[in-house]
Amino acid sequence: MQVLKDISDTSKLASVVGNTPLYQINRIYDNPLVSIYAKLEWMQLGGSVKSRPAFKIIDQAVKAGLLHPGKTLLDASSGNTAISYAAIGAALGIEVTICLPENASRERINMLKAHGAELVFTSMFGGTDEAQVKAKELATQNPDQYYYADQYNNENNWKAHYDHTAEEIIQQTNGTVSHVVVGLGTSGTAMGLGRKLKQYNPKIELITLQPDVALHNLEGWKHMETAMVPGIYDPHIADGNMEIDSSEALLMVKEIARKEGLLVSPSSAANLLGAIKVAEQIASGTVVTIFPDSAEKYSEVLETVFNETKD
């Protein structure tokens, strides 16, 4: 993609962020009275749902004069937001520095390097919580060098979904959406969707999902009881919360590939698990969930799923 000469003109990228298709789950779950749909979020620049908040954060920072030539965008990320920052940054000519755990997958690291991002690794044992501490430390020590995006506390994170993702869901379901089911990481997706959809129709229910244990395999998800809770998270917006077993999510990755034709990430599979549980509890309705990314960055996970599980 050609680098834009003027980073202030972020609008040139707006058409390649968002506007993702809505896919109906047909074989894993089939009920004439309850439909399940998933937003295929990898089908945009940056390859994941995180492209939406990354673009909104960059766009607003540029317009406010906080991010400009000579200033580097800095943030902490487990991978997807980092890749979105790096891809969008590359297209706009913005330098990007990312703090991330050292156990990030090799695919994610290679993608970040390919886009020219500078990487600062933190301990795998501290997860994204430790990466946040490191990013804040760097920003404090070098205020003239960095614009600290701080996705976990940046209001533009959830506003990206409030302004765009929710509107897409309303239009794509012809206003019939009755339930939205989504996992919690930074919580931006859930917070934005919940706020906007409830304004559209107060009867729409938001069900949030999180891992059932602190040590889990759901990349980007947070076990809120033990993790550093994002500043943008408001537990009162959701109508309910469910726990998901990450081992069940890995099995669902295989089911989705074999029965729906989609190779998705464990977090996408976990979201579908939650959506099915919600669908089984209602008499009728339209349940929408999010497939944050594809399996492109999870080759090790796919090896485990397809080589060790039984047909």
According to the model, what pLDDT value does residue 271 have? 97
**Do residue 226 and residue 206 come from a single domain?**
yes
According to the model, what pLDDT value does residue 103 have? 86
Q: Using alpha carbons, list the distances in angstroms from residue 201 to 24, 176, 206, 235.
A: 22, 10, 12, 19
Residue 122 has, within 13 A of its CA and on its CB side, a CA count of 23
Residue 30 forms part of a structural domain: yes
**Do residue 33 and residue 72 come from a single domain?**
no
According to the model, what pLDDT value does residue 8 have? 60
38, 289 contact by CB (below 8 A): yes
User: Distance (Å, rounded) from C-alpha 137 to C-alpha 177?
Assistant: 43
Structural domain of 122: 51-148
Q: Report phi then psi at 247, rounded to 5.
A: -70, -35
User: Distance (Å, rounded) from C-alpha 197 to C-alpha 169?
Assistant: 9
**Do residue 170 and residue 271 come from a single domain?**
yes
In this structure, are strands 34-40 and 22-24 parallel, antiparallel, or unpaired?
Answer: antiparallel
Nearby residues of 24 by Cβ (< 8 Å), 6 or more positions away: 35, 36, 37
**Do residue 200 and residue 113 come from a single domain?**
no
Residue 280 forms part of a structural domain: yes
Provide the residue-wise pLDDT of the chain in tens; the chain has 311 residues.
334 445 567 888 989 999 999 999 999 999 999 999 999 999 999 999 999 999 999 999 999 999 998 899 999 997 899 999 999 999 999 999 999 999 888 888 999 999 999 999 999 888 888 999 999 999 999 999 999 999 999 999 999 999 999 999 999 999 999 999 999 999 999 999 999 999 999 999 999 999 987 777 777 788 888 888 999 999 999 999 999 999 999 999 999 999 999 999 999 999 999 999 999 999 999 999 999 999 988 887 778 778 765 54
Query: To which residue do tokens 């003027």 refer?
Result: 6
Name the domain count of the chain: 2
The total number of residues written for the chain in this structure: 311
**Do residue 21 and residue 123 come from a single domain?**
no
**Do residue 106 and residue 249 come from a single domain?**
no
User: Distance (Å, rounded) from C-alpha 132 to C-alpha 151?
Assistant: 10
Buried b or exposed e, range 234-256, using 16+ CB within 10 angstroms: eeebbeeebebbbeebbebbbeb
Last residue of a domain, one of 148, 183, 218: 148
**Do residue 136 and residue 183 come from a single domain?**
no
**Do residue 28 and residue 177 come from a single domain?**
yes
Residue 104 forms part of a structural domain: yes
Query: Hey, what are 41's tokens?
Result: 């979020």
User: Distance (Å, rounded) from C-alpha 292 to C-alpha 83?
Assistant: 13
